[in-house]
Amino acid sequence: MAGLKQVQRQTGVALWRQIADRIRETIGNGTYDETGMVPPETVLALQFGVNRHTVRSALAALAQEGIVRAVQGRGTLIERKERLNFPITRRTRFTSSIGDQAREMRSLLLDEVQEEASAEVARWLGLKQGEQVIRLETLRQADKRPVSKATSWFPAARFAGIGEAYRKRESITKAFADLGLSDYVRATTEVTAAHANTADLADLELSPGAILLIAKAMNTDLDGVPVQYSISRFAADRVQFTIEN
């Protein structure tokens, strides 16, 4: 069937994981839209040149992600879950961007650490390497479903207490406001894609082989002074980016 790529043996990537990736991609391309079903295991096994057990493992992983669902007597149904649209603008805000697409929004603080700025963090924030920064690890949910996980750094001298403010307010924007920064803008966004690592798989409730959209971003105050550098990981099957001028 068009859209399915052959798996490659002896690549170090398990066959079932490769198959899950191929099926996920094919679903995303709309290849199965006419039936709303994934082809039977026997058909997929023949197409990929593997046994049914390997195909079954791939489908089980996709079921854990919420992409497909086994229906007794019918086969494997594709779950119709539309991606959330996340616009990237001059004033990118997670809650306001996603909020009207979900009934319930949550932003959780997973960890807070004060540390010395690495060379990369210092470069983005316009600091000297070794200066103190505050790192927050956060998880955002829409309708109780994890959507993104972010690592953010802030100049410690300016934003002492931002972790507690975020814990209470569940919003970077509101935490900034509590600390005296009433407005800020997005200066730079770089987007790439990669497979999720073990920690992100667990926190975002994904199966091995899942793809993330990774956004590196810098926000500044209205005078152009950097206030936040972040690396946000989005579940690629749950979110799409729209670049707006």
pTM of model > 0.95: no
Rg of the chain in Å (alpha carbons): 21
Q: Mean pLDDT: which of 54-63, 110-119, 185-194, 202-211 is highest?
A: 110-119
Pick the last residue of a domain from 26, 53, 78: 78
Residues 101 and 198 in one domain: yes
Residues 64 and 136 in one domain: no
The distance from CA 135 to its chain's CA centroid, rounded to whole angstroms, is: 18
Using the structure block, give the residue that is written with the tokens 């950097």: 226
- For residue 184, the domain's CATH number is 3.40.1410.10
H or E, element range at 114: strand 105-116
pLDDT over 90 percentage in the chain: 56
pLDDT of residue 81: 60
Q: Is the pLDDT of residue 54 over 90?
A: yes
Residues 109 and 221 in one domain: yes
Q: Is the pLDDT of residue 1 over 60?
A: no
State the sign of the Cα–Cα–Cα–Cα dihedral 83, 85, 88, 91.
Answer: negative
pLDDT one-digit tens code per residue, 130-150: 999 999 999 999 878 888 999
Residues 96 and 185 in one domain: yes
Average pLDDT, the chain: 88
> For 12, which DSSP code?
S
Q: Going by DSSP bridges, is the β-strand pair 145-155/226-235 parallel, antiparallel, or unpaired?
A: antiparallel
- Domain residues for the domain of 160 are 84-242
